[in-house]
């Protein structure tokens, strides 16, 4: 499908806002090797965002959108929260679900898409905050994993309910005091990555979004494994700079500080045996493809 | 038949859906003007008059024609361009026709640029900003058109025309149905035919959209 589907009528091309013209002329749809390096040189799938200036969620959004292996055939399912304000600017199909329902919606959607388009690869990716994933939507999150639904769940973990002003969430750290949680969290951060593994996820990663290349790798792995094998889960630290009292330039450092080996966002990865095999196969194919391309380029210059 | 008439607003903050006030849609071959069923010929004439009277007559093409989904969509786009060119040729000095797209239905945060687009969730912003006093929707999906038309009737004094590809819109002040390339071109013909016979509303107190 790729760009063919998004042609603007010639007679009205000039009146389309430039975002749309750029999208059609220079988006990365259909490009096999698309990735975070395309950000800034080709049309991003997100033009502006309405998050707070410097919010790490905006970086995460850009890296994720640039890394989806199949954006024109991907449907993202969002939930209420800061992320939901960005989706209207995203040039990938997306559905806004009722707060907490995202994994239930994604389950039905993925099944419907495989019935409707049996010969086409359609990816479904859930992207929601920690309140939606771990508290209000925990039932839907877990049940989708138990049922081995084939889609990726991404949680933007900012360790509280940011969009409603800073209430306590299950992923908040023990003892943390927020504007609307003045007593301080009484229990430990819920260990959702481990729960995900025990609930049947085939690929689980807990990390920050400080390194775009790493985000690209885990997104690609998660989507490919979900497509072929079963549920995958990514928990990405996207600190709410507003609620933890940081300036707009300090989000990156906050992530770097939190990913040190002893810290709560030290890189952790779990890959099931079938998923390991799939990743090895994909890596081998990729190597072959690159070798063939190199050979072709060599022939062309010879 | 209902006594209610679908008239330029501002009606009030939440105008009733015209259908709930007893306004019904035209049958094939008919149109409606202010909620009263009329012949298509009468509607062409009235729509052309409204365009020629307006200070800023504007066409709002929606996604069904902006994107070249198929050959038919591309042809409709060409016809819309022609209608717009005709308007430009037929208006008098002081009138400024516009062609503003509705490329997307999703609410845009923090805001849209009213000079380059219209959004169905706050169409009044584009109407107010450009002082549009007559507009035509074409190629907008029904639900979004209904929503927009109601908001416009509620908050502005803009005259609304719907060139609807399906059964028409009760919430527009004038609505065609079963829109086609031919119908769009026929409206352009009527604009040409009435050129110079209609006095533009340039100095009247009602000119420009109010809020
Ligand atoms: C069913 C329902 N319950 C509650 C709310 C209110 N609400 C809106 S956003 C939000 C918090 C979102 O927190 P989180 O999922 O952590 O996302 P963040 O804003 O932190 O990115 C809540 C509780 C709602 N919109 N719908
Ligand atoms: S409130 Fe926090 S999470 Fe939400 S946009 Fe602002 S900084 Fe980002």
Which bin fits A253, alpha (ψ -120 to 50), beta or left (φ > 0)? alpha
Residue A192 and residue A155 in contact, taking contact as beta carbons nearer than 8 Å:
yes
Indicate whether residue A56 lines ligand 1 (CB < 6 A): no
Among residues B132, B137, B158, the alpha carbon closest in space to that of B147 is found at B137
Read off the pLDDT band of B140 (50, 70, 90): very high
Write the residue in A11, A20, A88 that is nearest to B81 by C-beta.
A11
This prediction's pTM: 0.88
At which residue do the structure tokens 């600190």 appear?
A239
Burial class (CB in 10 A: 0-12, 13-18, 19+), B190: buried
Judged against a pLDDT cut of 90, whether residue B193 lies above it is answered with yes
How far is B104 from B67, CA to CA, in rounded Å? 11
The CA-based angle B194-B150-B160, given to 5 degrees, is: 5
Centroid of ligand 1 to alpha carbon of A234 (angstroms)? 19
Which residues sit with their C-beta closer than 6 Å to ligand 2?
Answer: A 51-52, 55, 57, 82, 158, 162-163, 240-243
Neighbouring C-alpha atoms within 13 Å toward the C-beta of A151: 30
How far is B146 from A273, CA to CA, in rounded Å? 53
Write the residue in B81, B103, B113 that is nearest to A16 by C-beta.
B103
| B110 touches A at CB < 8 Å | yes
| B116 touches A at CB < 8 Å | yes
Residue B203, pLDDT score: 60
Q: Rounded to a whole number, what is the distance in Å from the CA of B142 to chain A's nearest CA?
A: 20
Nearest CA to ligand 1 atom 1: A99
Nearest CA in chain B to A18: B116
Atom of ligand 1 nearest to the CA of A169: 16
Q: Tell me, rounded to whole angstroms, the distance of Cα A122 from its chain centroid.
A: 16
Predicted confidence (pLDDT) per residue in B62-98, tens digit: 999 999 999 999 999 999 999 999 999 999 999 999 9
| DSSP helix/strand/coil, A199 | coil
The DSSP secondary-structure symbol of B165 reads S
Q: What is the pLDDT along chain A (302 residues), one digit of tens a residue?
A: 455 667 999 999 999 999 899 888 888 888 888 999 999 888 878 878 889 999 999 999 999 999 999 998 999 999 999 999 898 888 899 999 999 999 999 999 999 999 999 999 999 999 999 999 999 999 999 999 999 999 999 999 999 999 999 999 999 999 999 999 999 999 999 999 999 999 999 999 999 999 999 999 999 999 999 999 999 999 999 999 999 999 999 999 999 999 999 999 999 999 999 999 999 999 999 999 989 988 988 887 76
| A6 touches B at CB < 8 Å | yes
Q: What H or E segment, with its residue span, contains residue A137? A: none
Predicted confidence (pLDDT) per residue in A186-238, tens digit: 999 999 999 999 999 999 999 999 999 999 999 999 999 999 999 999 999 99
How far is A210 from A36, CA to CA, in rounded Å? 12
Predicted confidence (pLDDT) per residue in A124-134, tens digit: 999 999 999 99
Residue B171, pLDDT score: 97
The DSSP secondary-structure symbol of B171 reads T
The residues pairing with B53 across neighbouring beta strands, listed in sequence order, are none
Q: Rounded to a whole number, what is the distance in Å from the CA of A49 to chain B's nearest CA?
A: 8
Write the residue in B67, B108, B110 that is nearest to A9 by C-beta.
B67
- CA dihedral A55→A59→A60→A62, nearest 10 degrees, is 130
Centroid of ligand 1 to alpha carbon of A80 (angstroms)? 5
Q: Which of A15, A18, A78, A93 to mutate to test the interface with B (most CBs of B within 10 A)?
A: A15
The DSSP secondary-structure symbol of B49 reads H
Q: Do B109 and A50 touch (CB under 8 A)?
A: yes
| B73 touches A at CB < 8 Å | yes
Residue A137 and residue A79 in contact, taking contact as beta carbons nearer than 8 Å:
yes
DSSP assignment of A75-122:
EEEE-SSGGGGTGGGBSSEEEEPPTT-HHHHHHHHHHHHHHH-TTS--
How far is A37 from B80, CA to CA, in rounded Å? 40
The CA-based angle B143-B144-B147, given to 5 degrees, is: 90
């Amino acid at each position: 499908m790729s760009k063919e589907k998004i042609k603007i009528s010639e007679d009205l091309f000039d009146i389309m806002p430039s975002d749309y013209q750029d999208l059609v002329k220079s988006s990365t749809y259909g490009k096999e090797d698309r990735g975070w390096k395309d950000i800034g040189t080709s049309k991003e799938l997100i033009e502006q965002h309405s998050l707070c200036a410097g919010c790490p969620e905006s970086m995460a959004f850009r890296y994720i959108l640039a890394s989806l292996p199949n954006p024109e055939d991907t449907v993202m399912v969002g939930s209420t929260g800061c992320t939901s304000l960005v989706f209207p600017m995203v040039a990938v199909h997306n559905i806004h679900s009722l707060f907490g329902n995202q994994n239930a919606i994604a389950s039905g959607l993925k099944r419907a898409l495989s019935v409707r388009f049996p010969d086409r690869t359609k990816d479904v990716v859930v992207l929601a905050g920690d309140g939606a994933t771990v508290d209000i939507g925990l039932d839907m999150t877990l049940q989708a994993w138990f049922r081995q639904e084939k889609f990726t769940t991404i949680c933007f973990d900012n360790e509280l309910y940011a969009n409603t002003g800073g209430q306590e969430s299950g992923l908040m750290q023990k003892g943390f005091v927020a504007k609307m949680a003045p007593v301080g969290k009484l229990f430990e951060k819920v260990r959702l990555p481990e729960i995900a593994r025990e609930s049947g996820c085939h690929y689980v990663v807990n990390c920050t979004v400080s390194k775009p290349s790493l985000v690209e790798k885990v997104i690609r792995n998660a989507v490919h494994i979900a497509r072929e094998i079963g549920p995958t889960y990514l928990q990405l630290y996207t600190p709410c700079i507003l609620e933890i009292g940081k300036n707009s330039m300090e989000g990156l450092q906050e992530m770097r500080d939190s990913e040190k080996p002893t810290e709560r966002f030290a890189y952790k990865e779990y890959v099931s045996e079938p998923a390991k095999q799939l990743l090895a196969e994909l890596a081998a194919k990729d190597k072959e493809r690159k070798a063939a391309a190199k050979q072709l380029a060599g022939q062309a210059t010879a | 038949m209902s006594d209610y008439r679908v008239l330029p607003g501002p009606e009030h903050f939440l105008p009733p859906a015209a259908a709930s006030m007893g306004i019904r849609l035209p049958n094939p071959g008919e149109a409606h003007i202010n909620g009263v069923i009329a012949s298509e010929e009468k509607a062409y004439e009235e729509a052309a008059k409204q365009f020629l009277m307006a200070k800023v007559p504007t066409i709002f093409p929606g996604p069904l024609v902006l994107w070249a989904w198929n050959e038919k969509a591309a042809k409709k786009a060409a016809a819309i361009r022609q209608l717009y060119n005709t308007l430009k040729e037929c208006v008098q000095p002081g009138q400024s026709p516009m062609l503003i797209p509705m490329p997307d239905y999703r609410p845009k945060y923090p805001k849209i640029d009213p000079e380059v687009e219209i959004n169905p969730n706050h169409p009044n912003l584009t109407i107010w900003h450009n002082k549009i006093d007559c507009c035509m929707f074409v190629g907008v999906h029904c639900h979004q058109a209904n929503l927009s038309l109601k908001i416009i009737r509620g908050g502005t004094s803009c005259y609304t025309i719907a060139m609807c590809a399906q059964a028409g819109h009760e919430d527009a002040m004038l609505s065609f149905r079963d829109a086609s390339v031919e119908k769009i071109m026929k409206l352009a013909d009527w604009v040409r035919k009435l050129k110079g016979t209609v006095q533009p509303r340039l100095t009247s107190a009602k000119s420009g959209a109010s809020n």
